[in-house]
């Protein structure tokens, strides 16, 4: 680094230090500055990592590691984000907000947009939420803070329930312990869904203007925000209990639940009481919120080892199944006893198809399927990397089907949606109240399926077998290649686009869809979809969070043995294809 760049980096760090209200990140940054100023190479590298770029605001809002600097989650960045979002909402509503350089709060206007803010149990979530509502109120908006730490689905529900213009959830979901994030929802015509383009770029532009203006201390703040009453939480509990009230088969049902050190249990337990389900055996070590996540290395039910305590509790209780939420309770995992011993966590596709079949039967029972007006036809939706089995369900029940880009910001916007899912353990089962993935309402739906089956002397495993007999066996897998350089992932995608492969393994490729070209009415995306002549499907896309290329594999067969054999061969072929690109 030359001397000019070195001094510029130090000046940016000093400017940040001068406006940072957090004593912890100030101390962190001050120590790094002192080291860099005397030539400590490690301190200089750490400063460069924190200030070389800015944590980008996009359709997932903000998410990153806690710490000082523009490339970390911290109070400065959150205040800038809140002020930028406030300016965007005021502009969208055609009302005046407080100017960025005026420290006096703007008066609350009767037509001011309402913003509701929620937070989970991660480190600094409550602090970031409090900063946000003070900034929103200072900008002249009506700001409402949820009464305590709560699951993400409660915030998504509150946006619609309170007829809010927007909602903010402070959470990093199932990310590592030292991460946090800032997820934004829009009300009105967006119906409480997460933001999509162009809203993300417009909000980001407002945030950048706030950041360019300098000291966040100059931004107006106000304590004139509201704290939501328990009525909001009670309304969510009532609506979610109605998803699947307990049938007679629920009596005596033995099951295990873990909150994964997150915020799901308090809300779920109230819903269980309301819906009439027996209380589970809880994993006591993981049932209370704890942002340090002491019993897991990675608080994600998909990760190896994350559910080991659940399985031990299930063995001791001789449980029929295990249910887990991730830390903010927007995802759901389910595990069943393995006939060969131990426990098997169901894939997101297996759970998603069971819940999709349930939704289709409910629609059919209400007489809302085939024969309705085209504009009002109910539909099932999933991300394009999720199992094609959902389309088979929709076709069988006369429902529309939509494959979307990845993310519930897209799934929730599918026309006529009655159910949606994504293979990464996300399920939208109650779109009339929550337009996002919801691990709590999905848990209630799974409990309803289990109780109905139990009444007939069957299990969730029997329902999976019945699904295979009805629709055929849909089997899925993933392979990936990780690199040390994000640019290498782009280069591999470019190589695939320049020269499409002719086969995957020994199976010829029949058709290639490049979603950068906007296939099937989808917004452009960095995805290649390969259709093989035996009916298999291969999808290649970069990871949205890591420097790796991901490949999703799907086959459909008459038997489980045939499906697994074909899937293994397809996985081998996909690995060989990736090796040729690396």
Query: What would the 3-class secondary structure string for 307-368 be?
Result: CHHHHHHHHHHCCCEEEEECCCCCCEEEEEECCCCCEEECCHHHHHHHHHHHHHHHHHHCCC
pLDDT of 59 reads: 78
Query: In the numeric block, which tokens belong to residue 487?
Result: 């640019």
Pick the last residue of a domain from 409, 444, 469.
Answer: 469
Where residue 513 sits, what CATH number does that domain have?
3.30.310.50
Q: Which two tokens stand for residue 240?
A: 């979610």
CA–CA separation, 536 and 532 (whole Å): 5
- Residue 292 is a catalytic residue: no
Instruction: Please indicate, yes or no, whether residues 446 and 510 belong to a single structural domain of this protein.
Output: no
Clarify whether residues 122 and 237 are in a common domain: no
Q: What's phi and psi for 360, nearest 5 deg?
A: -65, -40
Are 159 and 99 in the same domain?
yes
pLDDT in the model for residue 373: 46
Looking at the fold, whether 480 and 454 belong to one and the same domain comes out as no
Range of the domain at 497: 472-581
Same domain? For 432 and 539 the reply is no
246 lies in the same domain as 316: yes
pLDDT at 374: 47
pLDDT the model gives residue 579? 87
- Give the whole-angstrom CA distance, residue 327 versus residue 461: 26
Statement to judge: residues 237 and 201 lie in one domain: no
Residues 13 and 92 in one domain: no
Last-in-domain residue among 418, 441, 469: 469
- Residue of 125, 173, 222, 441 marked active site: 173
Pair 32, 109 in one domain: no
The token pair that represents 434 in the structure block: 């929550």
pLDDT of residue 487: 85
Are 412 and 459 part of one and the same domain? yes
Residues 498, 460, single domain; the answer is: no
Which residue, 209, 228, 247, sits at the end of a domain? 228
556/353 Cα distance (integer angstroms)? 14
| Of 359, 330, 347, 243, nearest in space to 563 by CA | 347
CATH number assigned to the domain comprising residue 445: 3.40.120.10
Looking at the 3D structure of the chain, how many domains does it have? 4
pLDDT at 97: 59
Q: What is the reported pLDDT for 543? A: 81
Identify the pLDDT of residue 284. 98
Same domain assignment for residues 366 and 306? yes
Q: What is the C-alpha separation between 118 and 173, in angstroms, rounded?
A: 13
Place of tokens 């509701």: 116
Q: Which residues of the chain have pLDDT under 50?
A: 371-374
Q: Please tell me the predicted confidence (pLDDT) of residue 99.
A: 54
Q: How many Cβ atoms are within 10 Å of 506's Cβ, its own excluded?
A: 10
Number of continuous H segments (helices) and E segments (strands) in the chain: 17, 22
Alpha helices in 112-216 (DSSP H): 125-138, 152-161, 199-213
């Amino acid at each position: 680094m030359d001397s000019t760049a070195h001094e510029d980096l130090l000046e940016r760090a000093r400017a940040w230090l001068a406006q940072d209200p957090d004593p912890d990140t100030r101390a962190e940054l001050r120590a790094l500055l002192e080291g860099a100023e005397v030539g400590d190479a490690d301190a200089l590298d750490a400063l460069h990592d924190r200030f070389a770029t800015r944590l980008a605001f996009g359709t997932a809002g903000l998410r990153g590691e806690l710490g000082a600097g523009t490339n970390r989650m911290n109070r400065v960045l959150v205040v800038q984000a809140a002020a930028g979002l406030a300016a965007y909402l005021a502009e969208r509503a055609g009302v005046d907000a407080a100017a960025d350089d005026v420290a006096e709060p703007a008066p609350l206007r009767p037509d001011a947009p309402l913003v509701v803010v929620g937070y989970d149990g991660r480190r600094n979530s409550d602090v970031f939420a409090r900063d946000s509502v003070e900034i929103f109120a200072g900008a002249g908006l009506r700001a409402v803070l949820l009464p305590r730490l709560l699951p993400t689905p409660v915030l998504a529900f509150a946006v619609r329930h309170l007829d809010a213009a927007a909602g903010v959830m402070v959470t990093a979901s199932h990310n590592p312990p030292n991460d946090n994030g800032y997820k934004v929802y829009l009300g009105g015509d967006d119906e409480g869904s997460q933001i999509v383009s162009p809203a993300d770029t417009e909000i980001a532009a407002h945030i950048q203007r706030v950041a360019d203006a300098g000291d966040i201390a100059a931004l107006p703040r106000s304590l004139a925000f509201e704290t939501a009453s328990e009525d909001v939480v009670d309304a969510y509990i009532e609506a979610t209990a109605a998803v699947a009230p307990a049938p007679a088969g629920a009596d005596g049902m033995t099951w295990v639940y873990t909150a994964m050190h997150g915020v799901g249990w308090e809300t779920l337990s109230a819903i269980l009481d309301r819906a009439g389900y027996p209380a589970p055996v809880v994993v006591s070590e993981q049932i209370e919120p704890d942002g340090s996540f002491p019993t897991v290395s990675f608080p994600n039910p998909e990760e190896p080892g994350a559910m080991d305590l659940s399985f031990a509790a299930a063995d001791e209780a001789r449980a029929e199944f295990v249910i887990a939420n991730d830390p903010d309770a927007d995802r759901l995992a389910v595990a069943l006893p393995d006939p060969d011993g131990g426990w098997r966590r169901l894939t997101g596709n297996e759970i998603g198809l069971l819940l999709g079949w349930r939704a289709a039967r409910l629609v059919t029972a209400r007489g809302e399927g085939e024969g309705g007006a085209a504009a009002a036809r109910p539909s099932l939706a999933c991300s394009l990397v999720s199992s094609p089995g959902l389309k088979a369900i929709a076709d069988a029940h006369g429902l529309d089907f939509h494959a979307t880009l990845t993310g519930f910001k897209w799934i929730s916007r599918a026309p006529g949606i009655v159910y949606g899912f994504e293979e990464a353990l996300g399920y939208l089962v109650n779109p009339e109240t929550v337009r996002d993935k919801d691990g709590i309402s999905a848990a209630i739906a799974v409990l309803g399926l289990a109780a109905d089956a139990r009444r007939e002397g069957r299990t969730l495993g029997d329902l999976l077998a019945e699904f295979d007999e009805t629709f055929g066996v849909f089997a899925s897998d993933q392979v990936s290649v990780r690199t040390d350089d994000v640019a290498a992932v782009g280069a591999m995608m470019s190589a695939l686009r320049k020269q499409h492969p002719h086969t995957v393994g020994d199976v010829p490729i029949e058709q290639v869809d490049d979603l950068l070209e906007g296939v099937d009415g989808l917004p452009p995306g960095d995805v290649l979809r390969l259709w093989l002549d035996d009916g298999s499907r291969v999808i290649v896309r970069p990871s949205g969070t890591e420097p790796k290329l991901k490949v999703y594999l799907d086959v459909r067969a008459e038997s489980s043995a045939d499906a697994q054999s074909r899937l293994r061969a397809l996985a081998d072929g996909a690995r060989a294809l990736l090796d040729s690109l690396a």
